[in-house]
Amino acid sequence: MEIIEYKEEYQSQVIGLILKIQQDEFNVSITIEDQPDLNEIAHHYSNNHGNF
């Protein structure tokens, strides 16, 4: 496994991974519409020296 820095081109894959974990592994009834931050990952998680 290789861990790489988030780039906007990976957004759809990241969203798919997060939703799969939430819905399938933890049986949480949540959608992308419930998590608008995932449509703006860089804005919510990477600004101010953070990262995703």
Give the pLDDT confidence score for residue 52 in this predicted structure: 72
CA distance 15 to 11: 6
The domain ranges of the chain are 8-46
CA distance 33 to 15: 11
* 19-to-7, 11, 39, 49 alpha-carbon distances in Å: 18, 12, 13, 25
| Residue ranges for the chain with pLDDT beneath 50 | none
Single pTM value for the model: 0.83
